[in-house]
Every structure is written in C-alpha cells, then in structure tokens.
C-alpha cells in the first residue's frame, strides 16, 4: 500500500500482529443523531496501548482503548454503546449529542 | 477476527478488489463476500441476504442488515484523481486529495515538472495525456483535472475524460480561455458534452494562492461526488 501504510488502520493492525503484538479492532457499527465518524470507521489498538484511527471526535477513544486491552486479554468480542442517555458516556465525555455503537474484537 | 481473514482482506484491498467483511455481532463469526463469490465463511447466507450484502458493497456503504445482527463493512478501492499538468497548484491538490483518500496520479510529459521531489505522494506519469489516459481508463470513481494551461497537453486529456464516465471533469483557465477551449473541442466533435467540464474550475471561495485554488478544486470534486 506504499504511502498509505502510515494511515491505513488494517495495514497497521496486520503489522502489529506480524511482529507478535496482541491487537484489537474497533469498528463503528451504528450511529444515532450527530456523531462525527461514519459507520465503518476503524480504531486499531495494540497491547502497548498504541492506537491509530478514530471512532469519534476523540471523546471516547480513551475508553475504547481501555476496553480493547481487556478484549486482548480475554478474547471475547463485544459491543460497546456510548450515548447521551448513558451516564458512563458522559463520564468519558461524549458531548456531540449523538450515540455510537462500536464492535470490538481481538485479532486471533 | 482470524488473522488469516485479516490477511485475505488486506490482499483484496491491495489488489483493489471490492470486498465486504460481514460480522455476526452476537457470536463474532465472520465472512468475506465479493461481488461474484463468497469465501472464508464462518457464516451462511440465503440468496436474499447475499443480495443485500452485495447491494451495500456495490454502493460502497456499510451498516447493519435489517432484522439481524449482521454488520457489513464494505471496502472498495479508493476514488482516483488524475491531474494533468504537474504545476504548483497540482502539488497542493495532490497533497490535499491524498488526505481525503483519493489515489492521485499526476500526468505531465514535461519531466522537469513531473519529479518525485515535487510529488512525493502521487503516482507520476511522464507521458503524453492521450497515452496516459488510455492506460489509466478513468471510470465513474475517477475525477479528472487539467491544470497545464497548455492546449496541447490539456485538450487530449479533456477529450479522453469526456469519452469516459469520470464523475468530475475540471479545467483551469479563465472564461475567455474556456470559450476558446470549447471552440477547439467542438471542432473535435465534443460540442454536446462540454457542459460536463467545470470551468472556471473550483468553487468560488475567493482565494488566490495556489493552495487556496487547490482547496476550491477539491471542494468542487467532493461536492460532485456526494451530490450526484
């Protein structure tokens, strides 16, 4: 992919796995109301806490990275919901007024 | 996701083959669906489901399928931008378009212009536009922009673009330049298609610098892509 390597989330994910890192893939599967990233957007995370891409305007990435480390440990894929009606979402600061569902999975 | 599935997905993307990754969100089972066949499947689909998945894939959309927990992520090759004329505006336009995920090709037979140093993030074609355009075959996911300001470079590219399904065609030059250009192209038999050419090029943002003009051009390309 040449120059795309530095910004392509899946290429980055593949490289991490190839050099022995554990890694996880987060994907926006649905959105409601105003949310900054379209369905299908990816965030990839490795076991060092490094990440590339985004699933929001930056407001929930921290929470997703933390959850990803657990997915890497236990291997169970899961769905995460963030939204204005969700008190935890306010804790991590989803202030855009929308809601997002994210699917989080480990690369096996 | 299985590592082998990720590798196959990446192979398809690198080969520029459209592919959908389908995930059953409750159990995590996955499949890759292509426009003509289905592989690496931990899932089975009936014909109507398969048709729904391919309908999303063909239109480059992703989303949940109705009445199911199946999520479809479509991966389609990047849209292309063909720039004719490796000029100053082209340098800024190539960089901006790359950020917007366009695959950029710069065509200019003048090798002093089309250098790696000036265009590190674009594919360079130091060929005459008629040859380059025949090889690159613009399709409905391609935008064509002529910036050379030289009819013997720009005109053949515009004729090839007008012969194609390119979703956007733009040509740099003043109204007067464009009038003369239209006369030449009409003589070549393109009279009824000249309305497809955006000229003067770009949205009227008022900017004057090479980078500002590049923004105006890219903005018009984005508008054409999403407001068909």
Confidence of residue A2 (pLDDT cuts 50, 70, 90): very low
Predicted local distance difference test score (pLDDT) of residue A4: 43
Q: What is the pLDDT of residues B99-112, one digit of tens each?
A: 998 999 999 999 89
Complex ipTM: 0.85
Question: Mean pLDDT of all residues in chain A?
Answer: 84
Contact B73 A27 (CB under 8 A): yes
Kindly state the DSSP code that residue A38 receives in the 8-state scheme: -
Quick one: angle between helices B129-136 and B151-162, nearest 10? 30
In this model, does residue B39 exceed pLDDT 80? no
Q: Domain B80-226 classified CATH 3.40.50.720?
A: yes
Query: What is the four-CA torsion angle of B158, B142, B17, B94, rounded to 10 degrees?
Result: 100
CA distance B1 to B199: 48
pLDDT of residue B41: 76
Window 23-82 of A, Cβ < 8 Å to B:
25, 27, 29-30, 38-40, 77, 79
Where would I find the H helices in chain B? 3-14, 47-58, 88-99, 129-136, 151-162, 175-187, 210-226
- DSSP lists the bridge partners of residue A102 as A28, A80
Residue range(s) occupied by CATH 3.40.50.720 in chain B: 80-226
Phi-psi region of A6 (alpha: psi -120 to 50; beta: other; left: phi over 0): alpha
Q: B121: which chain A residues are within 8 Å (Cβ-Cβ)?
A: 3
> B3 vs A77: CB contact, 8 Å cut-off?
no
Tens-place pLDDT, residues B133-155: 999 999 989 999 999 999 999 99
């Amino acid at each position: 992919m040449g120059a795309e390597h530095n910004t392509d989330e899946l290429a980055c994910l593949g490289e991490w796995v190839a050099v022995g890192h554990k890694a996880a893939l987060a994907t926006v599967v649905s959105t409601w109301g105003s949310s900054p990233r379209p369905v299908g957007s990816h965030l990839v995370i490795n076991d060092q806490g490094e990440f590339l891409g985004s699933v929001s305007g930056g407001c929930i990435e921290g929470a997703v990275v933390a959850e990803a480390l657990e997915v890497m440990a236990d291997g169970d894929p899961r769905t995460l919901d963030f939204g204005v009606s969700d008190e935890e979402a306010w804790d991590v600061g989803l202030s855009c007024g929308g809601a997002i569902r994210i699917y989080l999975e480990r690369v096996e | 996701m299985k590592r082998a599935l990720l590798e196959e997905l990446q192979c398809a993307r690198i080969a520029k083959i459209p592919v959908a990754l389908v995930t059953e969100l409750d159990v995590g089972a996955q499949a890759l669906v292509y426009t003509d066949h289905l592989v690496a499947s931990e899932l089975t689909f009936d014909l109507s489901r398969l048709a729904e998945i391919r309908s999303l894939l063909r239109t480059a959309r992703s989303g949940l399928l109705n009445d199911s927990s199946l999520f479809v992520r479509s991966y389609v090759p990047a849209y292309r931008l063909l720039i004719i004329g490796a000029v100053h505006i082209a340098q800024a336009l190539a960089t901006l378009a790359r950020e917007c995920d366009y695959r950029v090709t710069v065509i200019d037979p003048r090798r002093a212009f089309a250098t790696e140093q000036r265009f590190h993030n674009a594919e360079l074609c130091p060929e005459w536009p008629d040859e380059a355009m025949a090889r690159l075959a613009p399709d409905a996911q391609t935008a064509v922009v002529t910036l050379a300001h030289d009819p013997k470079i720009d005109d053949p590219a515009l004729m090839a673009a007008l012969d194609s399904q390119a979703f956007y065609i733009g040509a740099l030059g003043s109204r007067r330049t464009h009038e003369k250009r239209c006369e030449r192209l009409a003589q070549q038999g393109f009279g009824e298609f000249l309305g497809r050419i955006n000229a003067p090029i770009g949205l009227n943002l008022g900017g004057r610098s090479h980078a500002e003009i590049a923004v105006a051009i890219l903005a018009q390309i984005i508008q054409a892509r999403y407001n068909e």
